[in-house]
Chain A
């Protein structure tokens, strides 16, 4: 079939638009990467785009030597792993139970788990509860309260439902009990959906800094994202102080070898690198779950 001129023009514009879109999506990150590897004083002259003008790894030397950053890195990793493991066990267990149509009380359990989607106690009662059960300034606050997600449960359940029940029945005939069916039949067959949910939960844990803002004051428990937040706030304070003292006519004699801006860029890169690096290889799993979730029942 012959294409009309209008169609050709449209296709061309569409492709140009897509390139622009990609540029807009990745430019801020590449620019920050370039700034983080550029000489601090040179950055202040402006004009850094896709690559560093004067290469320098000084900001990384400062950031990676900082004990707070190292500690935060470990916290981020350990909470992501522990949080994800527990979330997977809790969520897939619940999902399996909900697939059992003849389970006495199934409807009630489902209702019980669904109501909090619509009504929630909000931040302050949660804060008070955590205070009573000693979850404030406690590593457990990262992994326990968020371990169950009804949305992820539905995604896993939808997948469980696609597994033919004849598999389960034949395992029953062969003498398997529910424990064996769950661990040896259902879970291994559900690897694709479990991979998707695992990735979501890991990224969610890695990116979370609100939990720390609300419930943690102990510096030893800061994750990387929170350290980045602190850094942004501090450099704002610093900038404002400098601006004010310039207005008052005081001169700034301190000329540090690295500026807050470079440190911020380097911390940003460290805090996002695990996600950005693994993302191209894993993105198909990220998307798969949305497709599963969108055909719910």
Chain B
């Protein structure tokens, strides 16, 4: 009897907690209904392919499925390291990634600073609007624009003839693998510089205006204000952008590279992405292509983690 009395409130508490959770779930049933499609889509198109990565360790057979195919351990990865073509692709991926990541990085910041110094608001809005435009074109359209610009009867060769004399022979840099990297760099910069500057402009406008007023009182010039107030003020944003895009080091932009490749440059400009595409989708060597993709994905994940660690150590900026 006494035992019951002691337990009863506990039971009641337990019961009501259970009940209120159930009540909450019932109360929120429409909310669950709203989030369900996102969860289902993420499960099917993100998590199932993660399980499919098991293919990298199998001799995958499309009729036996992800879990029925014979297991071969790290054989697919061993094959990766034996092929010279793949070594070249890894080298290119890292080179292109590094050049674009670090080479293009300062320019949007510079552009944002220049935009910020424009005192005429109409001019500012107008030039900004124009500079964003290329961002909204597809990469293949950008490639078509480049083909037109650099073609033998295009503007590039017209300018060359103007400078070097009209008897000079036409030259198309798109057909020469030596010029592939500069073209990647220029086209990336052209397409993205305007849009990438938006975020830095937002960061600049977030800087406390009292700092500028105080510095003017103390006799700072505009240039000094940029160096001592604006740049430090946007540093956190710059670092976060750098961390977020550091994965680019090993992934490259497939659309851009694939688009710019042609019959003349294909052999020397392969990246991991183009090999995965050709081996996996065109020739059906699924396991090997998956192994390659997995190795790449792991590297990019590690690079993001490491760069996050480094920047959080030095400046306290972190995305996690």
Contact = CB atoms under 8 A, between A and B. Distances in A.
Contacts of B296: 122
Contacts, number: 270
B48 A129 contact: yes
A67 interface: no
B281 interface: yes
A291 to B, nearest CB: 5
| Size bin of chain B's contact surface | 35 or more
B138 to A, nearest CB: 3
B227 to A, nearest CB: 14
B128 to A, nearest CB: 8
A116 to B, nearest CB: 4
Interface residues of A, number: 100
Contacts of B202: 290-291, 294
Interface in A125-172: 125-129, 131-132, 144-145, 147-148, 153
A54 interface: no
Contact of B280 (A6, A31, A123, A267): A123
Contacts of B132: 283, 286-287
Interface string A90-104: 110110111010111
Interface in A28-43: 28-29, 31-32, 35, 43
Contacts of B307: none
B141 A118 contact: no
A127 B45 CA distance: 10
The SS class assigned to the A binding surface is helix
A198 interface: no
A120 B50 contact: yes
B171 interface: no
Of B50, B126, B158, B304, the most chain A CB neighbours within 10 A belong to: B50
B320 to A, nearest CB: 9
B16 interface: no
Nearest to A278: B136
A91 B131 CA distance: 29
Contact of A120 (B39, B49, B55): B49
B34 A32 contact: no
A290 B196 CA distance: 10
A174 to B, nearest CB: 17
Contact of B114 (A14, A97, A128, A283): A14
Given A125-B290, A148-B38, 17 more contacts: A22-B126, A28-B149, A32-B148, A93-B37, A93-B38, A97-B31, A97-B34, A97-B35, A102-B24, A112-B43, A116-B50, A120-B50, A148-B37, A240-B263, A276-B136, A291-B202, A294-B202
30 contacts: A18-B123, A22-B131, A25-B190, A26-B133, A32-B148, A46-B152, A46-B161, A89-B37, A97-B35, A109-B39, A112-B43, A116-B46, A120-B46, A122-B276, A123-B289, A127-B280, A127-B286, A129-B45, A129-B49, A144-B41, A148-B38, A148-B41, A179-B30, A206-B138, A210-B255, A232-B147, A265-B148, A267-B144, A272-B137, A272-B141
